[in-house]
Structure 1
């Protein structure tokens, strides 16, 4: 028994010694080697080239340029002379201290960006001097270079990731850049590529001196995917020129594919402002501009009453429901009386009118009467409204549409339940009569209006609007964008409506903006506009709206233009739409009279003048809305004094 116990003790002691030897010679050795490696080896990320962005014709819009970040590893900084370093980096010492503290909180051992996006000129004098400050070094990266000075709202921009993004995606580390809006955000994973890294041995100052183990552990970066988008660069640039000193949005779609040809929101800004050392300052300026709101994408996020362009939808629904025939005539006595002294007004024109002239003349009385028939066809007003709602939403209205851009609003197409919950009494078709002319509770975004127009151009179907066309030169094969979305309206009912839209140009409300040799179908709109200024509700200048597609029988473009405070439809929106149709189809402009008008008239002056509580005079240099450049400062002072809350 004693022998067995002794043997057990000897065996146990032996095992302990063996285990200790293994730990010291294998495990601890590896750990010590790793620690030694961490102390003597520096890992530097090798950032890939971000994917290029081309327009539909292969024109390069966004490329890359070399930039340099000043990095820091807090643990290695020692007693750095921050006063001298701040002078070298050309930043305030207090700001440098704050950045270092932020870096320490994130990690003392891992690198953080202290000064990002230096140009080659800014980097050159730092290259040697920075070696005197332990823990600081330069990291080369690829930065965006915008080859256009427009399209910021659709291209988007890249920005340093925050902690929330880092937690969600372990690809990113402190100081990395990622797309924050537009195409840059929507296709971030494709554009960013895959980071690589290189290991270097370093001296006691932390400086990289040579490749570690001849680069055997290095990983090469993988470049991002090049994107070809559906935008037409020239059309986009021209559209932005037409929107100078105006507010609103333009969106054009190719009906046969759903490809977005142009998407412009105004006011806008040069995308290159959000690159380089001044980007943070410029971003703050843009975000704090609560009057112009250049960061708001009005095409995707602006929810407006559609006005008279919505009448063509009511015409289609009325035909589908069989409550009207195209030849039936309705009287208009400067409007429509729908109960007691209540009247929906209308401008002067011939009477009575059938559907064709009702559309061409934009008669409110005509559409009020056919809308009422639609709602009253149901056994109750609520059920009639539900039928109307289902037809209208089949055109993509009241929905986000599913396009491949990261922001949007659904708009609003009310149904029976909406009014039943809104009104505590029994309601009838006249209660909602404003819907007949695109006012009332109806709200749409400009991209929905353009998509609706594409569905009409196609005689009853549309493709989901999208911005992506190719990836690395290969056409996309996504059924989401190649599947036809059918409306609830039979194809036969579109012809009389399209004839009416064609007559809008030939003899109706847009007859003065015709384009030679192009059969265009369109519809003007004038939208009432209210705002609350210093607590008081005031009516402001109406919005100018226009939808169009062309050519009539082989549509290549469907367009919606929405101009805030643009008066009536043909004053601004119709002129812009006509010029863009001509530019797209002909490749040149012949209606230079329309172009000259748009290039020389400013709505910024009118907008500011009508919102101001105080007398507003710049001087005699401002005439009929034209603003000389030397008076922009006066306008900016006025904008800062305004307090505006748009009513929902």
Structure 2
């Protein structure tokens, strides 16, 4: 009985405690409600999104390329606008009344309760004039944000730019947490790494009185969420080399891409003509963008990633390796320079082996090399034999990263084209073409198309004896200090790694051998052996394009480079010396005074006037 009596007191105590807590909670809520009512009479509780500090961008030597500076916008919250004196407001802000009406209409469509930008990037003078008078215009206020500032005049095509988010992007679920007026990466690395650079937004609640004057943070701090700054990007780009490359191609059209073969890191990425990244920031950037867009030289066009050219004679290296893999030739195989098959551009010694053929860039030799690779007697029907052989050839060529996107950390990369049997079937008809129809592929001409980035990657692959890492700009993200996982994966070609050593001596002879077609890229005087290949790309619309690709030092490659210079004639006299200067600058840290004449030649010379194939 005493036990039951004790339990009754315990139960009564529990009920009493719950009642006290419940009454206390009601009292707290009533007090809080009263405080809100008082606040409502005097102040407005505003939710302000805190934009995080956008991550900075550095080059491979930790030189700062891109940072942030504060800028100020005039924003409006439509619900808070009361009895607007439009005329006086427009006089204050120097804003056309029609622009005000359009801005208010757009703001209401977006949200009546969230701020929308009316005037962005206010100057210091405009800010001072407007800020003093905003108390007379409820619903309007100044909002600070961080804008991109560029510490470099170079690398615009790779860096990309940041701009106000567009209505179309706002409709995407990917950008659901963005607001009108927010900045977002529009192109280049700024776009590809948007989520990394952007960080995480925060929220702060502040009290604003009826005149729009900020009264400080709301004391219910439990509602605030701290913003988290974006992570920095550490690029593989050598800023000094990049500036030098852009200087060389100033006034030209073309591209330079340099890679570290051991890692796939992009050292230099020149698209010419270029523009300064700061051009697409601040007031008037929209007009400047349109000027660039209308420029007939197309400075916005990202040539290393988007311009596809026939690779010319550089592609002979790939064809030779495919033939070696198929066993239809050996390093000692020779073919006559039979010009009844295809024209050869200059007289040279008999191509009795692969080294001489590469050094002399003999067109008839490589015609016969590819013919041996494609026509292997797999069918009694000659058309079918060519069809089967070309299909196998295409598969092996594509293993070099050609005809497909390499997966660089940029969004606008083009695939290029390595034509397949189906491609010719559609164009010419099934069994209506044969090797003689497609023989121009043997010298890197015809329907084939590759980008500057792909060509540099082919040379990096040869330098590595058969594998490559997907080219990339970012070698380290934030404190982690590593590139994305996909850029740490090796990609092997369909060619046995033991076969690559047979083409490299011929490539060295191209540059360092007596009478080699790439002699103007030689660094032999500094004890550096260069392995390369010249190319002259036929162009039906004007002078031929000049190309050259190489790596150095040949025995321990640290740089692979590909140069395209449009309408500049022979590869040996335009692209080759340009590539030589790039390699010298990277490997030695400077260009010798005795080689300065080549700088003047590349920048100011008539590149079509003389040269070798």
Alpha-carbon distance between aligned partners in 1 of 2:590 and 2:444, rounded to the nearest angstrom? 34
Which residue matches 1:368? 367
Matched, 1:403 2:414: no
Question: 1:374, CA displacement in angstroms?
Answer: 0.8
Alignment of structure 1 residues 336-347 onto 2, 5 Å: 336-337=340-341, 344-347=342-345
Alpha-carbon distance between aligned partners in 2 of 1:270 and 1:122, rounded to the nearest angstrom? 27
Matched, 1:428 2:427: no
User: 1:113-155, CA deviations, whole angstroms, 9 ceiling, x for partnerless residues?
Assistant: 1111234454233321333322211101111110001111101
Alpha-carbon distance between aligned partners in 2 of 1:509 and 1:147, rounded to the nearest angstrom? 40
Match for residue 596 of structure 1 among 592, 597, 600:
600
Secondary structure of the equivalent of 1:345?
coil
Alignment of structure 1 residues 566-577 onto 2, 5 Å: 566-577=568-579
Matched, 1:555 2:557: yes
Alignment CA distance shift 1:92-1:269 (3 Å): farther
Alignment of structure 1 residues 162-241 onto 2, 5 Å: 162-167=166-171, 168=173, 169-213=175-219, 215-241=221-247
Secondary structure of the equivalent of 2:120?
strand
Partners of 1:545 and 1:562 within 8 A in 2? yes
The alignment covers a number of residue pairs equal to: 565
TM (norm. structure 1) is 0.83
Alpha-carbon distance between aligned partners in 2 of 1:216 and 1:75, rounded to the nearest angstrom? 25
Unaligned runs of 5+ in 2: 1-25, 379-384
Which residue matches 1:513? 521
Which residue matches 1:332? 337
User: 1:296-325, CA deviations, whole angstroms, 9 ceiling, x for partnerless residues?
Assistant: 211111111111110111111111112222
Alignment CA distance shift 1:278-1:35 (3 Å): same
Match for residue 391 of structure 2 among 367, 386, 392:
386
Alpha-carbon distance between aligned partners in 2 of 1:493 and 1:34, rounded to the nearest angstrom? 84
Which residue matches 2:145? 141
TM (norm. structure 2) is 0.87
Which residue matches 1:42? 46
Question: 1:102, CA displacement in angstroms?
Answer: 1.4
Question: 1:287, CA displacement in angstroms?
Answer: 2.5
Alpha-carbon distance between aligned partners in 2 of 1:120 and 1:378, rounded to the nearest angstrom? 78
Alpha-carbon distance between aligned partners in 1 of 2:555 and 2:125, rounded to the nearest angstrom? 57
Alignment of structure 1 residues 439-588 onto 2, 5 Å: 439-476=445-482, 478-506=484-512, 507=514, 508-515=516-523, 516-517=525-526, 518-530=528-540, 539-588=541-590
Question: 1:214, CA displacement in angstroms?
Answer: 6.4
Which residue matches 1:414? 419
Alignment of structure 1 residues 241-320 onto 2, 5 Å: 241-289=247-295, 291-320=296-325
Question: 1:36, CA displacement in angstroms?
Answer: 4.5
Alpha-carbon distance between aligned partners in 2 of 1:442 and 1:275, rounded to the nearest angstrom? 38
Matched, 1:97 2:101: yes
Alpha-carbon distance between aligned partners in 2 of 1:396 and 1:514, rounded to the nearest angstrom? 28
Alignment CA distance shift 1:34-1:254 (3 Å): farther
Unaligned runs of 5+ in 1: 1-21, 338-343, 531-538, 607-623, 625-648
Alpha-carbon distance between aligned partners in 2 of 1:211 and 1:329, rounded to the nearest angstrom? 83
Partners of 2:519 and 2:572 within 8 A in 1? no
171-180 or 564-573, which moves further after superposition? 564-573
Alpha-carbon distance between aligned partners in 2 of 1:378 and 1:244, rounded to the nearest angstrom? 51
Alpha-carbon distance between aligned partners in 1 of 2:257 and 2:37, rounded to the nearest angstrom? 61
Alpha-carbon distance between aligned partners in 2 of 1:403 and 1:163, rounded to the nearest angstrom? 28
